[in-house]
Amino acid sequence: MKQLLYLVLTVCLPIMGMSKDLNNRMQGVGYLVIDGFSQDSIGRWQFVSDQVMGGVSTGTLNFELDDEDVVAHMTGSVSTENNGGFIQFRRNISLPESIIGIKLRVRGNNQKYFVHIRTGGTILPWQYYSSEFSATDDWADVFLPLANFSRSSRWLNRTLEASAARSLGIVAYGRDHQADIQVSKIEAY
């Protein structure tokens, strides 16, 4: 699977001028661990639901052992009732300018999830940069190039700059569904 992802990214990203940098990073050079999840991680993460704005979604964030690894495990019910529709866990981050993407190690319930990144320019609660991914039954590495993150508002800068990132959230969002996602590592490349 890693070879297929590497092949796809090295064929598609030269158009964007990122192939040499990505090639080095995919070979294991230049990963920055945002969170490898340990007992120390508990205080860095915050669970947030749409109840902060009157929604009715519910959920929990637990830190559990999977074999010998600590994983973040978010479960819950996402409801769009009452203008809601999200649950998330998030933490503050700071990234160097040279970062071009986020790598997650995840598994879940075969649903789509999102990474939301907030910056100094995302003043309002509903402003963020977003990238979608799927979490399958098996552990998998997910690569999310910053160039593919979408802004939630045209008032935000068109592109997400790594050095502007202030927080990162793992989000179940936008439709009625049951969320069940585990994350064992988050890295930047």
Least reliable range by pLDDT among 2-11, 80-89, 97-106, 145-154: 2-11
Query: Higher-confidence residue: 126 or 13?
Result: 126
Q: What are phi and psi of 186, to 5 degrees?
A: -130, 125
Looking at residue 19, what is its pLDDT?
Answer: 44
Half-sphere exposure of 175 (CA within 13 A, CB side): 6
Q: How far apart are CA 111 and CA 104, in angstroms?
A: 15
Where does the pLDDT of residue 5 fall: very low under 50, low under 70, confident under 90, or very high at 90 and above? very low
Q: What is the pLDDT of residue 29?
A: 53
Mean pLDDT of 145-155: 97
165-188 mean pLDDT:
98
pLDDT at 128 over 80: yes
Which H helix or E strand runs over 48? strand 46-49
Q: What mean pLDDT value characterizes the chain? A: 88
Which tens digit of pLDDT belongs to each residue from 23-79?
A: 444 445 579 999 999 988 999 999 999 999 999 999 999 999 999 899 999 999 999
- pLDDT at position 15 over 80: no
Distance separating alpha carbons of residues 57 and 132, to the nearest angstrom: 20
The answer to whether 112 touches 131, Cβ cutoff 8 Å, is: no
The Cα 87–Cα 103 span in angstroms is 21
The predicted model gives 158-174 an average pLDDT of: 97
Please give the residue that has the higher pLDDT: either 10 or 185: 185
- Encode pLDDT of 85-95 as tens digits: 999 999 999 99
Is the model's pLDDT at 9 over the cut of 50? no
Look at residue 1 and tell me whether its pLDDT is greater than 90: no
Model pLDDT, residue 39: 85
> Do 129 and 149 touch, CB atoms closer than 8 A?
yes
State the pLDDT at residue 6: 38
Query: For residue 183, what are the β-bridge partners?
Result: 72, 106
